[in-house]
Amino acid sequence: MKNQSILFKTLIVIVLISIMGACKNTPPQTVPTDEVEVIVPCSGSEYFSSGEVFRSNSIGESKDQVVSKKKALSNARADLAAQVETTVKAVTDNYVNSREFENKEEVEERFESLNREIVNQELRGSKVICEKQTLTSRGSYKSYIALELDPNLVLSAYNDRLSADERLKIDYDYEKFKQTFNSEMEKMGR
């Protein structure tokens, strides 16, 4: 009986070692032979938005070097603006729905108007975190740009605007708004 127990335990250890060894021998993923991997500067997971920061990246191409940079910057800003607008829209929807405003429809319209103003204003606070330029074999320039925007700038701008709005400030709760904002930012990091 004791020998069977030792034999059983030994067998389990052998099976576990075999399974662990099989997991380590998984071949690395490779690009199919009829394809070429493209490495795009200023892109990848370190340039994605997270729970702590808004980020975007883009590419611009032109025969003119300055125009290629302007295209990349314009596209990256548009993407950043869309991210901020989407997040803030979710924040305001959740915030307004969690509060009991008597004039809910008017409050929602007011928030929507503030969204556009603040997003346009705060995009000026974005900073370039990566910039690369290349010259293609066709003689055109390619610009790669990644931007970053601190969400605290957006939150602060909302607080300033909402606190200054006489009709909204009566029911405005900064801590509740901030909590809702941070909750939406955390969702982005997942």
> What per-residue confidence (pLDDT) applies to 70?
95
Query: Looking at the domain assignment, is residue 190 inside a domain?
Result: no
Half-sphere exposure of 179 (CA within 13 A, CB side): 9
Query: Looking at the domain assignment, is residue 95 inside a domain?
Result: yes
Whole-angstrom distance, CA of residue 162 vs CA of residue 112:
12
Query: Looking at the domain assignment, is residue 20 inside a domain?
Result: no
Contact by Cβ (8 Å): 95, 177: yes
> What per-residue confidence (pLDDT) applies to 143?
96
> What per-residue confidence (pLDDT) applies to 2?
56
Q: Which residue, among 86, 92, 114, 89, has the nearest Cα to 104 in the 3D structure?
A: 92
Whole-angstrom distance, CA of residue 190 vs CA of residue 187:
5
> What per-residue confidence (pLDDT) applies to 102?
63
pLDDT tens series, the chain, 190 aa: 555 566 556 556 565 565 555 555 556 678 788 888 888 999 988 999 988 899 999 999 999 999 999 999 999 999 998 888 888 888 877 777 666 666 666 667 777 777 777 777 777 788 999 999 999 999 999 999 999 999 888 888 888 887 777 766 666 777 888 888 888 888 876 6
> What per-residue confidence (pLDDT) applies to 17?
60
Backbone angles phi, psi at 142, to 5 degrees: -120, 130
By residue range, what is the domain housing residue 51?
Answer: 40-183
For the chain, the domain total comes to: 1
Query: Looking at the domain assignment, is residue 154 inside a domain?
Result: yes
Query: Looking at the domain assignment, is residue 3 inside a domain?
Result: no
Predicted confidence (pLDDT) per residue in 98-111, tens digit: 666 666 666 677 77
Query: Looking at the domain assignment, is residue 188 inside a domain?
Result: no
> What per-residue confidence (pLDDT) applies to 168?
67
Residue 81's contacts (CB-CB under 8 Å, 6 or more residues apart) are: 119, 120, 123
Q: Give DSSP secondary structure letters for 46-114.
A: GGS--SS-EEEEEEEEESSHHHHHHHHHHHHHHHHHHHHHHHHHHHHHHHHHHS--TTHHHHHHHHHHH
Buried b (16+ CB within 10 A) or exposed e, 102-126: eeeeebeebbeebbeebbeebbeeb
Q: Which residue, among 130, 149, 127, has the nearest Cα to 41 in the 3D structure?
A: 130
